[in-house]
Amino acid sequence: MSDSALSGSPAPTARTMFAALQLDTRLLGMIGAFVVLCLAFNVVTDGAFLTPRNIFNLTIQTVSVAIMATGMVFIIVTRHIDLSVGSLLATCSAIMAMTQTVVTPEWLGLGLNHPLTLPITILVGVVAGVLIGAFHGWLVGYLAIPAFIVTLGGLLVWRNVAWFITNGQTIGPLDANFTKIGGIGGTMGETWSWVFGIVAVLAALSLQYVARRRRAAHGFPVKPFWAELTISGLVSASILGFVATLNAYEIPERRLERMFEARGETLPDGMTMGYGIPFSVLLLIAVAVIMTLVAQRTRLGRYVFAAGGNPDAAELSGINTRFLTVKVFAIMGGLCALAGAVASARLGFSTNDIGTLDELRVIAAAVIGGTALSGGIGTIYGAILGALIMQSLQSGMAMVGVDAPLQNIVVGVVLVIAVLIDIIYRKRTGE
Amino acid sequence: MTAPLVEMKDMCISFGGVRAVDHVSVDLHPGEVVGLLGHNGAGKSTLIKILSGAYKADSGEIRIDGKPVTINSPRDARTHNIETIYQTLALADNLDAASNLFLGRELTTPFGFVDDDAMEAETRKIMGKLNPNFKKFSAPVKALSGGQRQSVAIARAVYFNARILIMDEPTAALGVHETQMVAELIQELKKQGLGIFLISHDIHDVFQLCDRIAVMKNGQLVGTALTHEVSDDDVLGMIILGKCPPHATPGPGALVDDTALG
Ligand SMILES: Nc1ncnc2c1ncn2[C@@H]1O[C@H](COP(=O)(O)OP(=O)(O)O)[C@@H](O)[C@H]1O
Ligand SMILES: [Mg+2]
């Protein structure tokens, strides 16, 4: 971005005005591709694709892969790869399933559906994931075994460790509170969703305001005021539009009746209620915010990108790149546990094949989202959008009735084309 | 005379079978510029990388202000106020100038988050002094010209109050005008009392800037000399043939030339 574009040329053209917004053109391209994809599926499915119901389902189907994709960004940015995430998810899921069905109710004597079961289970799962991830990171960072090999081994090991933990059985039903983080079984309801949406809008606006004021205080160039307003408007509209859509998906009458019965009330005539934001999506949003904060505002994040951009330079700057590798894989492990919690909660039980092939989906999401395998480049929001695009493609094709083998062929081709477009884009912009 | 700022005594390091640095001793005083000369592969970069903590010597002793120190990592070197401009610049291409300048020493807010605005402000300040033409503060350094990248690397070395500055071919990527700016900077830093090791291939630079020279060949020290006591030809003879002229102090790598004695 040149400085002349910031101060604005005397005769504003559409081009200079667009430049003044200082938007991430790569992100815009992805959003554009996503919108086109959705509209196309919507036409082919006679409007069934862009219904609140389908959007709701798409969102909850994306969460598990998206959570892991945020961690994969760090892994790939530091020039590593993690092929074990699907298996690690399975091991964490198995550990959490055993924790909530055996450990807390029987060993700890808390009984079934105790309120402490959920936090204990998540804690145990995340600790296990972090430890296993850190172990991978230690093998990669300190023993210098290529990450490809360590995690290829991990792919086999953890899938089958999961099998031993559960004796090959499907474990369930899971804790009633636990299953609420899976998706449709746990949502915020309309009112709280609006509250959340408004808080999110206020937070976004104040962040934007604070950033602008700080830049101005340092005397750095700032965007023109109208550009800031345009961005504020777009961000607010997107957040509130998202909430409105999820609220518009109404809880079926029968289910609503049962909910009221459970509280000893009867459903008033003609009353409808929307689902609102699922707790799993809330978890994804929290993960996205924290991971973005780590990436952009902490030393750890800065070192991740520095080590990815030039490992020697990072080392010569006094960064402990080996320990950094341990941390990055540990984060990945923790996120696999969270993803495992969401995935098993959505199913209501933990199966042996849970998370199978997720490593490919997660890597594809990160890469479609603009993470460069050569290292040093990638964004959290890109990876989440990448996961959403992958899921939309898959669900859309399923709705249209494309055979499963053909679906996979299309996804594979799209992955390769997406990376090709990315390479061409980066060459053009010299990024 | 007080103790030298830096003394490296009998330094050795080998990579596999290659003795990259073989019993080399050099020293450096405050306010002094010592030129390290030698062919490509002579071991100059390796020698200074031992001092900057990038490599660990197999044997030898490093003293700073007369006291023995151990330098096991770049972090150790930094705590001794040793700053280095590497031949490869050691910049993370994907990060902007400020992130590179403060890499490993980020300024943080009271909450512990990196303070990009403060770092950009400091970077603008120092760049205003070093290279007033520098404007691309938000671009990744990949997008900068060779000279601009070099000025980022130089800014990083001089920003943190170095006492000992190592410059490994700092003008290799620069044009005439920028080279002149670096020369002026070296003279300015020298006046402030820094000790500087300067690696350069440009004999003219060396004679203009250095108080002393140390010549290496095949990992060994050919000799050291006061710049004003030797000629261009003497220095070239040291570099190419390993021949030590009369006014120089020979090192282990000096050619023992029986025929010259008659
Ligand atoms: N990391 C390394 N691994 C193996 N050999 C090295 C390494 N660094 C330097 N060398 C070898 O050490 C010798 C001296 O190299 P260097 O110090 O870069 O020379 P100069 O800077 O004088 O051109 C060369 O033979 C080089 O190949
Ligand atoms: Mg060199």
Q: Is the domain of A282 the same as that of A309? A: yes
CATH number, domain containing residue A409: 1.10.3470
Mutate to test the pocket of ligand 1, among B12, B14, B15, B218 (most ligand atoms within 8 A of CB): B15
Q: Is the domain of A251 the same as that of A293? A: no
Q: Does A218 touch chain B (CB under 8 A)?
A: yes
Residue B151 lies in a domain: yes
Residue B130 lies in a domain: yes
Task: Kindly report the three-state secondary structure assignment for every residue of chain B.
Answer: CCCCCEEEEEEEEEECCEEEEEEEEEEECCCCEEEEECCCCCCHHHHHHHHCCCCCCCEEEEEECCEEECCCCHHHHHHCCEEEECCCCCCCCCCEHHHHHCCCCCCECCCCCECHHHHHHHHHHHHHHHCCCCCCCCCEHHHCCHHHHHHHHHHHHHHCCCCEEEEECCCCCCCHHHHHHHHHHHHHHHHCCCEEEEECCCHHHHHHHCCEEEEEECCEEEEEEEHHHCCHHHHHHHHHHCCCCCCCEECCCCCCCCHHHC
Q: Is the domain of A98 the same as that of A137? A: yes
Q: What is the mean pLDDT of residues A5-27?
A: 64
Asked whether the beta carbons of A349 and A55 are under 8 A apart, the reply is: no
Q: Is the domain of B64 the same as that of B129? A: no
Which pLDDT score is estimated for A408?
Answer: 87
How close, in Å, is residue A87 to chain B by CA atoms?
32
Share of chain A above pLDDT 70, in %: 95
Residue B45 lies in a domain: yes
Q: Is the domain of A162 the same as that of A303? A: yes
CA A104: distance to chain centroid? 29
Q: Is the domain of A270 the same as that of A282? A: no
Look at residues A274, A304, A322 and tell me which one is the last residue of a structural domain. A274
User: What is the average pLDDT score of chain A?
Assistant: 90
Q: How far is the CA of B39 from the centre of ligand 2 (A)?
A: 9
Residue B135 lies in a domain: yes
ipTM of the complex: 0.90
Q: Is the domain of A269 the same as that of A237? A: yes
Q: Does A388 have pLDDT greater than 90?
A: yes
Q: Is the domain of B109 the same as that of B129? A: yes
Residue B157 lies in a domain: yes
Look up the domain containing B47 and give its range. 1-81+166-262
For residue B156, name the pLDDT band (cuts at 50, 70, 90).
Answer: very high
Which pLDDT score is estimated for B84?
Answer: 95
Residue B48 lies in a domain: yes
Q: How far is the CA of A321 from the centre of ligand 2 (A)?
A: 24
Residue A17 lies in a domain: no
For residue B46 and ligand 1, the question of a CB distance below 6 A is answered with yes
Q: Is the domain of A162 the same as that of A135? A: yes
Q: Among candidates A151, A65, A70, which has minimal Cα distance to A339?
A: A65
For residue B1, name the pLDDT band (cuts at 50, 70, 90).
Answer: low
Tell which of A302, A304, A319, A373 to mutate to test the B interface (max B CBs under 10 Å). Answer: A302
> What is the four-CA torsion angle of A104, A110, A112, A114, rounded to 10 degrees?
-100
User: What is the average pLDDT score of chain B?
Assistant: 91
Residue B59 lies in a domain: yes
Q: Does A192 touch chain B (CB under 8 A)?
A: no
Q: Does A139 have pLDDT greater than 60?
A: yes
Crossing angle (nearest 10°) for helices A321-347 and A52-77: 160
Q: Is the domain of B156 the same as that of B174? A: no
Q: Is the domain of A264 the same as that of A300? A: no
Q: Is the domain of B127 the same as that of B198? A: no
Q: Is the domain of B177 the same as that of B155? A: no
Q: Is the domain of B177 the same as that of B73? A: yes
Residue B255 lies in a domain: yes
Q: Does B258 have pLDDT greater than 80?
A: no
Q: Is the domain of A230 the same as that of A91? A: no
For B211-220, how does the pLDDT look when each residue is reduced to its tens digit (9 = 90+)? 999 999 999 9
Which pLDDT score is estimated for A18?
Answer: 72
Taking CB atoms and an 8 Å limit, are B94 and A318 in contact across chains?
no
Q: Is the domain of B157 the same as that of B170? A: no
How close, in Å, is residue A306 to chain B by CA atoms?
5
Which pLDDT score is estimated for B93?
Answer: 93
Q: Is the domain of B214 the same as that of B122? A: no
Q: Is the domain of A283 the same as that of A329? A: yes
Q: Is the domain of B210 the same as that of B147? A: no
Domain count, chain B: 2
Domain count, chain A: 2
Q: Is the domain of B176 the same as that of B231? A: yes
Cα→Cα distances B205→A108, B150, B180, B244, Å:
77, 17, 9, 21
Give all strands of the β-sheet with B82-85 in edge-to-edge order. Answer: B82-85, B164-168, B195-199, B33-37, B212-217, B220-226, B249-250
Residue A141 lies in a domain: yes
Q: Is the domain of A243 the same as that of A142? A: no
Residue A67 lies in a domain: yes
CATH number, domain containing residue B240: 3.40.50.300
Atom of ligand 1 nearest to the CA of B41: 19
Which pLDDT score is estimated for A225?
Answer: 86
> DSSP string of A91-141?
HHHHHHHHIIIIIIIIIS---TT-TTHHHHHHHHHHHHHHHHHHHHHHHHH
Q: Is the domain of B204 the same as that of B77? A: yes
Closest chain A residue to the Cα of B88, Cα to Cα: A313
Look at residues B161, B189, B221 and tell me which one is the last residue of a structural domain. B161
Q: Is the domain of A316 the same as that of A406? A: yes
Extract the tokens encoding A187. 């949502």
For B109-149, how does the pLDDT look when each residue is reduced to its tens digit (9 = 90+)? 999 999 999 999 999 999 998 888 888 898 999 999 888 89
Q: Does A353 have pLDDT greater than 80?
A: yes
For residue A391, name the pLDDT band (cuts at 50, 70, 90).
Answer: very high
Look at residues B135, B161, B187 and tell me which one is the last residue of a structural domain. B161
Which pLDDT score is estimated for B257?
Answer: 61
Q: Does A423 have pLDDT greater than 90?
A: no
Please state which of the ranges A54-63, A238-247, A263-272 shows the lowest mean pLDDT: A263-272
For residue B44 and ligand 1, the question of a CB distance below 6 A is answered with yes
> DSSP string of A46-99?
TT-TTSHHHHHHHHHHHHHHHHHHHHHHHHHHTT---TTHHHHHHHHHHHHHHI
Taking CB atoms and an 8 Å limit, are B99 and A220 in contact across chains?
no
Residue A371 lies in a domain: yes
Q: Is the domain of B174 the same as that of B58? A: yes
Ligand nearest to C-alpha B39? 1
Q: Which residues of A touch B144 (CB under 8 A)?
A: none
Look up the domain containing A241 and give its range. 210-274
Q: How far is the CA of B253 from the centre of ligand 2 (A)?
A: 18
Look at residues B144, B161, B178 and tell me which one is the last residue of a structural domain. B161
Look at residues A222, A248, A274 and tell me which one is the last residue of a structural domain. A274
Which pLDDT score is estimated for B129?
Answer: 87
Which pLDDT score is estimated for A7?
Answer: 41
Residue A3 lies in a domain: no
